[in-house]
Structure 1
């Protein structure tokens, strides 16, 4: 009998998801409630707006400064960006002074993950619908991007007609069904060394995408590990380059399907 753990093509968040580097910089957006859920909103610079929207699903650090700076970068490319705080003020950073601190004694990681995953799973689609109603027009197209914890929700929306394209980086908690159900193009931005999405499981995921004839693109970065795209060490020139290349590829992917009319 196959256990639930063995069914995963990208494993649930674990130790590799709870560490990383803090990024410096001043974010440009603001937080307001959408469907009574905290939402970071970053708008494109004047004259650069392309009329489309990116929905952003963060890793376990929630609407951290890292996440806000990443969302600002998507906004700088012309998109209105909205990021959902499905942790509702209870990200993993609340329990650690820095990203590399051990958890406090007795902290129950599985319980924390289960609580927030269940909430997110039930609120992503209503939140996305509220975003469309409040911020969209008849011509607006939507893309979705997620990091680690956010990957399943990228697939959840790509299985609907809510969005035109999606991407995730160093994903977690994905099963074969997530890939089978895709209706729209997916970009996978992956690390060579990834405890949550190791090479043998990544190859299985690609096998599923090929078998099911899905539209996808896989990029694989040698020499970096899980978390490189959202909390990599920016003092390391190569890690910084990988992070920037991941973001640039995702923007180009969204431009292809939303801006150039391919979707």
Structure 2
């Protein structure tokens, strides 16, 4: 698949869709108006970057860039703030033993975060031209392309093998694809050290697999 200069342009806007704050990336070239990719954020938000003009509540720059990249590949993308402005502080949580993660998670379950905003946004988009949805999820939720990695305590090798066993070989009729990336750790598809060639290859490979999956299924 080849691209010209126009393929890498896009329009980014901050929109409120039925009361939900959204970051919307739209291709400037002709694209299928009946298709939208819902970009499902991971839980981390860098509070220190909240002052940057391209940021909205719940969406920080690395994830915005991924949303932009999908738009560059011909898909309209909607990333919604389903954490209601209260995502995990990425600049502290990994090294903060005081932070009550379990307490935070207990107040951000499906009934509070993902489901209500999703239902509102999807319903609003359906009232327009959209009839087909794809979803790209990171940690908090994902569709049935699974990009896994070598070092992941939350989705270890045994669980990866079990997922392939349950979903592979045509068992999941809508379509299942599993990708595996050596030398990568949890979060490799979003928050990475691009100076490491294996990690760089994992991030880029995971994104390419997502684009190919969407082109095939939506």
Q: TM-score, normalised by structure 2?
A: 0.79
Q: Distance in 2 between matches of 1:79 and 1:63?
A: 19
Q: C-alpha offsets along residues 157-187 of structure 1, whole Å, 9 cap, x if unaligned?
A: xxxxxxxxxx3xxxxxxxxxxxxxxxxxx21
Residue 133 of structure 1 is matched in structure 2 by 127
Greater shift, 74-83 or 54-63, is seen at 54-63
Determine which of 59, 64, 67 is the counterpart of 2:60: 64
| Corresponding position: 1:213 with 2:207 | no
Q: 1:41 aligns with which of 15, 24, 28?
A: 24
- Is the Cα contact below 8 Å between 1:43 and 1:81 reproduced in 2? yes
| 8 Å CA contact 2:170, 2:176 repeated in 1 | no
Aligned to 1:189: 147
Of the candidates 206, 211, 216, which is equivalent to residue 246 of structure 1?
206
Deviation at 1:125, TM superposition (A): 2.8
CA distance in 2, matches of 1:206, 1:231: 25
In the TM superposition, 1:57-96 aligns within 5 A as 57-61=40-44, 62-93=58-89
The number of residues matched between the two structures is: 191
What is the match of residue 110 of structure 1?
102
The alpha-carbon distance between structure 1 residues 212 and 115, as it changes in their structure 2 partners (threshold 3 A), is farther
Task: Report the alpha carbon displacement of residue 150 of structure 1 after superposing the two structures with TM.
Answer: 2.5
Answer whether contact 1:29 1:68 (CA < 8 A) is retained. no
Who is 1:230 aligned against? 190
- CA deviation after TM superposition for structure 1 residue 114, in Å: 2.1
Cα distance in 2, alignment partners of residues 146 and 76 from structure 1: 18
User: 1:32 deviation in Å?
Assistant: 1.7
| Equivalent of residue 113 in structure 2, options 120, 139, 145 | 120
Q: 1:249 to 1:210 in 2, by over 3 A?
A: closer
Q: Which structure has the highest helix share of the two?
A: 1
Q: Gaps (5+ residues) in structure 2?
A: 1-9, 45-57
In structure 1, runs of 5+ residues without a counterpart are 1-26, 152-166, 168-185, 259-263
Contact 1:43 1:79 in 2 (8 A): yes
